[in-house]
Amino acid sequence: MLAARRDSSVRADVLSGITVALALVPEAVAFAFVAGVPPVVGLYGAFMMGLITSLFGGRPGMISGATGAMAVVMVSLVAEGNVLGGSDLAGLQYLFATLLLAGGMQVAAGVFGLGKFVRMIPSPVMMGFVNGLAIVIFLSQLGMFREGDGWMHGSRLITMVGLIALTMAIMVVLPKLTKAVPAALAAIVVVATITIAGGIDTPTVASFIADRGGDGIAAGLPSFAVPSVPFDLATLGFILPYAAILAAIGLIESLMTLNLVDELTETRGNANRECLAQGAANITNGLFGGMGGCAMIGQSIINIRSGGRTRISGVVASLGLLAFVLFGASTIEMVPIAALVGVMFMVVLGTFAWNTFRIVNKVPNSDVAVMALVTGLTVVFDLAIAVLCGVIVSALVFAWENALRIRARKFIDDHGVKHYEIYGPLFFGSTTLFNSKFDVAGDPDEVIIDFAESRIVDQSAIEAINKLAERYQAASKRLRLRHLSPDCTRLIRRAERICDVDVLEDPEYFVVVDDPFNDLQPPRS
């Protein structure tokens, strides 16, 4: 029974990998044209990215390859590189050199454990990201309806739309009948058979490449070569900004795709390991003539929904793509573009978070605004800008809401000492409201601020306490702090030159401790 289940899983991974390989061909070619490089460079890039990340990445089942998010940055790099190098091939060499640097940055991110910070991306940003990416994928497919200098029309447009509809219908109906064969693969094979056997005149992979000035996808194995650019400060100054942008875009898209696949499979990947694999793959691209890339949300979803769960599916997809380039170019070039567009349209429908419309009136308006902002920026600009802006806006909203929550309970004990029990975090956003709680002139000679239900977060908080202490000192009154957590106490001690206040040690108990297993935590009595 166990062996049968294992065989079934391997079979699903293999079939899913073949399906993804078919979908990767036109995507890699299209993104190569966007970046301004030969189609074979895009195909090599997809092969090397997919193989290395599938073998060593932190998320089995996730597919990497040449992507549009990075291609739109590469086009400027290649164009400027051509001018800088004085030839039409110089830009490509500068691209390879940039990939070496970008890959190194990504490896460094993995070594220093920066991948874990993707877990801090808020849900509204994630939802805006998938919605924006779904729209971008949809818009990218519209280019498939162009022929020559214009758009399809007449019978060719009708045929194209009909074949797309047939592909989508097969992908909807077939899973209800059987799951023995991935619906996407079956749809591609059926539609391709119909068009070839029926002699239907419709765009194919071959006509798509020829229409954009390419010579086909047949090629040999990628070969090792150090980028032929001057390795000097001038070159570093030129490629460094591009490398930083490509590294950031690649990691953000990859790690957010990893999060999405985690949700789909109800498992958890390793973000830092994925950073290392992405970096290694881009370095390999720079040395073997590929255009680099990152994780692909569309192909990853195709893989997961087709049954791909292990590293086998990604490896099969990569090797399948290479096999198409080496041996099966003529067969793949016969596949109708309509079948591949239909598959991607189904990916769009599966990617878009349709529950967005159901929760609009059930979540805070700030979350709705962040979702809309990230979606719009993803479509208009790129993923890195969208996510960065979304995280910043979410952080500002969080800071503002917490700034309004600080409050103080006041009372005078039997000894004539006035107590201020503070509730809520004290940080840069809440210092003004914090200061307004105190009546320095009307308070008795001794005042205690109790932080049992609060904490001192940053330097702005320390400065606020210091200024408050100076006000009490000027009024010849004593201010003391009580019930600071160990981390807050250390923060105050480190800032003694800035903050001259009296921390009241309490031998009875300590509160607001982050880590109950911290060796520095004082013992409870």
Tell me the per-residue pLDDT of 283-300, one tens digit each, with 9 for 90 and over. 999 999 999 999 988 889
For the domain that residue 426 is a member of, what is the CATH number? 3.30.750.24
Between 68 and 246, whose confidence is greater? 246
- Clarify whether residues 376 and 466 are in a common domain: no
| C-alpha torsion 143→148→149→155, nearest 10 | -80
CB 412, CB 448: distance < 8 Å = no
Query: Does 318 have pLDDT greater than 80?
Result: yes
Please give the Cα distance from 48 to 42 (Å, whole number).
10
CB 55, CB 311: distance < 8 Å = yes
How many other β-carbons are positioned within 10 Å of the β-carbon of residue 8?
12
Please give the Cα distance from 448 to 426 (Å, whole number).
16
Residue 324 within any structural domain of the chain = yes
- Clarify whether residues 266 and 411 are in a common domain: no
Domains held by the chain: number: 2
Query: Does 500 have pLDDT greater than 60?
Result: no
Please give the Cα distance from 434 to 426 (Å, whole number).
7
- Clarify whether residues 346 and 381 are in a common domain: yes
Q: What is the pLDDT of residue 523?
A: 40
Q: Which of 320-334, 430-444, 479-493 holds the top average pLDDT?
A: 430-444
- Clarify whether residues 329 and 438 are in a common domain: no
- Clarify whether residues 236 and 156 are in a common domain: yes
pTM of the model: 0.70
Residue 515 within any structural domain of the chain = no
- Clarify whether residues 141 and 285 are in a common domain: yes
- Clarify whether residues 207 and 347 are in a common domain: yes
Residue 79 within any structural domain of the chain = yes
- Clarify whether residues 334 and 410 are in a common domain: no
Which residue in 305, 343, 253, 238 sits closest to 68, CA to CA? Answer: 253
Please give the Cα distance from 428 to 367 (Å, whole number).
22
Q: What is the pLDDT of residue 6?
A: 53
Residue 182 within any structural domain of the chain = yes
Average confidence (pLDDT) over 345-358: 84
Indicate the average pLDDT of the chain.
84
Give CA separation, 113 vs 29, 41, 109, 514, in Å: 34, 31, 6, 21
Residue 509 within any structural domain of the chain = no
- Clarify whether residues 258 and 355 are in a common domain: yes
Instruction: Write out the residue range of the structural domain in which residue 491 sits.
Output: 404-504
- Clarify whether residues 192 and 261 are in a common domain: yes
Query: Does 259 have pLDDT greater than 60?
Result: yes
Q: What is the pLDDT of residue 209?
A: 77
Q: What is the pLDDT of residue 491?
A: 65
* Domain final residue, candidates 395, 418, 438: 395
Residue 292 within any structural domain of the chain = yes
Q: Which of 196-210, 232-246, 325-339 holds the top average pLDDT?
A: 232-246
pLDDT tens-place string over residues 393-418: 998 888 888 888 888 999 999 889 99
- Clarify whether residues 319 and 433 are in a common domain: no
Q: Percent of the chain at pLDDT above 90?
A: 34
Query: Does 2 have pLDDT greater than 60?
Result: no
Count CA atoms closer than 13 A to 516's CA, side-chain side: 1
Q: What is the pLDDT of residue 370?
A: 92
Provide the angle, in degrees to the nearest 10, between the axes of the packed helices 297-305 and 183-197: 100
What SS3 state is found at 432?
A: helix
Please give the Cα distance from 33 to 36 (Å, whole number).
5
Please give the Cα distance from 161 to 167 (Å, whole number).
10
**What string of DSSP letters covers 359-411?**
HTTTS-HHHHHHHHHHHHHHHHS-HHHHHHHHHHHHHHHHHHHHHTT-EEEEE
Q: Which residues of 435-448 are buried (b: 16+ CB within 10 A; e: fewer)?
A: eeebeeeebeebbb
Confidence of residue 316 (pLDDT cuts 50, 70, 90): very high
Q: Percent of the chain at pLDDT above 70?
A: 90
Phi-psi region of 419 (alpha: psi -120 to 50; beta: other; left: phi over 0): beta
Q: What is the pLDDT of residue 252?
A: 86
Q: What is the pLDDT of residue 175?
A: 85
Residue 54 within any structural domain of the chain = yes
- Clarify whether residues 268 and 411 are in a common domain: no
Residue 518 within any structural domain of the chain = no
Give CA separation, 399 vs 20, 389, 404, 435, in Å: 43, 15, 9, 17
Q: What is the pLDDT of residue 508?
A: 41
Q: Please give the helix or strand (H or E) that residue 426 lies within, else none.
A: strand 418-426
